[in-house]
Amino acid sequence: MSKIDLNKGVNLKIEGEIGKYQTIPVDSLIKIGQHFQELVLSLAKYDLSEAEGIDLNNFKLELSGFQKGSAVPQFSFTNRIQTTLNDYKAQREQINEKLTGLFEVANSGDYLSLKKIYKKRVARNEIVSRLHDFVNSFGDSPVEIVGGGKTMRRMFKVQKFKSHIKNELIEKPAKSTEEKIEETTVGSIKVTREGGKVIRKKVVEIYDDGHTSLSYSTNEIIGNSLKYELNHPLRCLFFKKDEVYIIQNELLDIMGTGNSQTEAEHNFFKAFDYCYMRYNNPKITLSRRLVGIRDILRAIVKNVKRA
């Protein structure tokens, strides 16, 4: 069985309109490379079994070669490695295996089989979309995945991925059924309920008199690629200063700011994710204060898994 190895490089033999002059237009190359990159990052996001120590920067691609004959660009994993707690080489091997499986599906043209491979809606929706975008980035030009060297032996042929097949695979999430603005003494909050259950609270306005703040709490933190499940709700200050929304946890010395609650929350989660990964990296020397914060983080976090 042919196997993809992005460490050595994946060669895309592009014929037809795009590759007929043994060259590739720049806009086509950018589109192909971008969609290939997004596909690989989605595999890293959803298919790596152990979430701890994953840095998506280690799964970025680079254009590493080009051959004529048809137009044959080669894409490889980047050599710009980021230090993680886990073995990035083993993680890359898993992605090579998953990508091999996807190209086997593309070779057969049986894209509906992705529903059996990816049973969880969120993962299937994203990977199906990424694969569809990649396959269709070539337009009507025939494409093969080929081996390196002068022979360019065919490993996989990329079959068309039609939009109606993609739509059969995509599962839409349930829609929120109710949104209501609730007033508090220090601001107004939009509460979203589904089936009577509160699934989201968003601050619409803070009555800013320079002294008031809301209490913000969350049971989970979603970083760049990881989700942290917490033993207890993490309570923080939430306030507005000079039109900037701020979420702050003084105990952990973590803060997120933004022009909206969503942006502040996103930046707070990114800061939490960065601190957790950095403070738990055995290669980094911590001060006594940071060791204390690390121990608190370990006590707060119940479980870490893929987002």
Question: CA-CA distances (angstroms) from residue 200 to 179, 242, 262, 267?
Answer: 9, 25, 11, 18
| 118 and 32 both lie in a single domain | yes
Structure tokens at 34: 């971008």
Specify whether the CB–CB gap between 33 and 174 falls below 8 A: no
Q: What percent of the chain shows pLDDT beyond 90?
A: 44
Q: Which range (13-17, 167-171, 249-253) has the least confidence?
A: 249-253
| 82 and 113 both lie in a single domain | yes
In a domain, 294, yes or no: yes
* Amino acid of residue 215: S
Specify whether the CB–CB gap between 281 and 273 falls below 8 A: no
| 16 and 119 both lie in a single domain | yes
| 53 and 95 both lie in a single domain | yes
Specify whether the CB–CB gap between 227 and 272 falls below 8 A: no
**Domain end marker among 207, 229, 258:** 207
pLDDT for position 107: 96
pLDDT for position 62: 95
CA 200 to chain centre: 22
| 51 and 136 both lie in a single domain | yes
| 14 and 159 both lie in a single domain | yes
CA 15 to chain centre: 31
* Average pLDDT score over the chain: 84
| Average pLDDT of the segment spanning 36-44 | 93
Summarised one tens digit per residue, pLDDT across range 182-240 is 655 445 566 666 666 665 665 555 545 444 456 677 888 988 788 899 988 888 888 87
In a domain, 1, yes or no: no
CA 269 to chain centre: 14
Comparison of pLDDT for 77 and 284, the residue scoring more = 77
Structure tokens at 99: 């990508």
Provide the domain count of the chain.
Answer: 3
Comparison of pLDDT for 189 and 22, the residue scoring more = 22
In a domain, 110, yes or no: yes
Domain boundaries, position 277:
213-306
pLDDT for position 11: 95
Residue 180 pLDDT exceeds 90: no
| 291 and 225 both lie in a single domain | yes
pLDDT for position 159: 96
H or E, element range at 288: helix 288-300
pLDDT for position 194: 63
Summarised one tens digit per residue, pLDDT across range 60-87 is 999 999 988 789 999 999 998 876 667 8
Comparison of pLDDT for 111 and 193, the residue scoring more = 111
Summarised one tens digit per residue, pLDDT across range 129-146 is 999 999 999 999 999 999
In a domain, 3, yes or no: no
Distance CA 112, CA 168 (A): 8
In a domain, 31, yes or no: yes
pLDDT for position 195: 61
Distance CA 126, CA 123 (A): 5
Summarised one tens digit per residue, pLDDT across range 244-265 is 888 888 888 899 998 888 888 8
| 64 and 195 both lie in a single domain | no
| 195 and 246 both lie in a single domain | no
| 185 and 36 both lie in a single domain | no
In a domain, 187, yes or no: yes
pLDDT for position 185: 46
| 89 and 164 both lie in a single domain | yes
Contacts of 120 (CB under 8 A, 6+ apart): none
